[in-house]
Amino acid sequence: MASAVLERQAVALPDFDRGEREIRFELDAESRRVLGTTILTPEEQAFYLRLALSDLGIRPYTKELVVAYQKEMEAKANREIDEKFARRKHKRHWRIVPALLGAAILWALVGILFFTPKTWEGNPTAGWIVMPPILLAVISVFVAMSTMSEPKRWSWQFARTGDYGGYIPTFAAQSALAIKKRVPWAQFSIEELSRERIGHDPFLVVYAGDERHYIEVWGEPKFQGRAS
């Protein structure tokens, strides 16, 4: 269970004249349709997003708690990987590597010291002198690489909803569609804890102007730590 529990909080809105804001919103829609450009500043775009969230009753997750939760989950997942990696390095087969390398070097030295070039000429068994140390060296390198190679770690990755290949539940899709109808320029992305095409705790993020909000989250129970 995560100690950083996610909590929702209503967006804050400044005092404003709704009628005036609606006129400007409609003017922007006409400008986009006729001129192909917006008349809204990034601050205004962010305001209309907050207004839509408020009108729809969608309370985003508190950003500070989301950041704390993500850091905790990433550290926890990577701690398990680090522990497994440390145990793997101390397994018995890792101690065999120096012995294999030593045997390969010794065998090669024996071949160099006791076999002259004339001995090698026409000797069908010469390969038995050359191949074993080579094979031992290759095996040693393979074992060392498989043991010492750093494992891939968990990290938070994001993808636009159009590029996201994972599952998006109905409630998250409904929230996104409701916002998009109110704020056509709103963009969405999925942010999840990922490692080798495996993802946990996907967050649905909406952003417009210079603001972004975490509006939904889902995933496996062992990765959840949220409160509505």
Is residue 100 within 8 A of residue 143, CB to CB? The reply is: yes
Residue 120's pLDDT is what? Answer: 54
What pLDDT, on the 0 to 100 scale, is given for residue 223? 44
Residue at token pair 């390198």: 141
Question: SS3 of 58, please?
Answer: coil
pLDDT of the residue at 146: 57
State how far the Cα of 211 lies from the Cα of 74, in Å rounded to an integer.
Answer: 24
Q: Which two tokens stand for residue 35?
A: 């001129």
The pLDDT value recorded for residue 226 is 46
Low pLDDT (below 50) residues in the chain? 221-228
Per-residue pLDDT, 83? 80
Token pair, residue 34, equals 């006729």
The pLDDT value given to residue 195? 84
* pLDDT score, position 153: 81
Q: Is 186 exposed, middle or buried (0-12, 13-18, 19+ CB in 10 A)?
A: buried
pLDDT tens digit sequence for 173-198: 999 999 999 999 999 999 999 887 67
Q: What DSSP state is assigned to residue 221?
A: G
Nearest to 186 by CA among 146, 227, 215, 164: 215
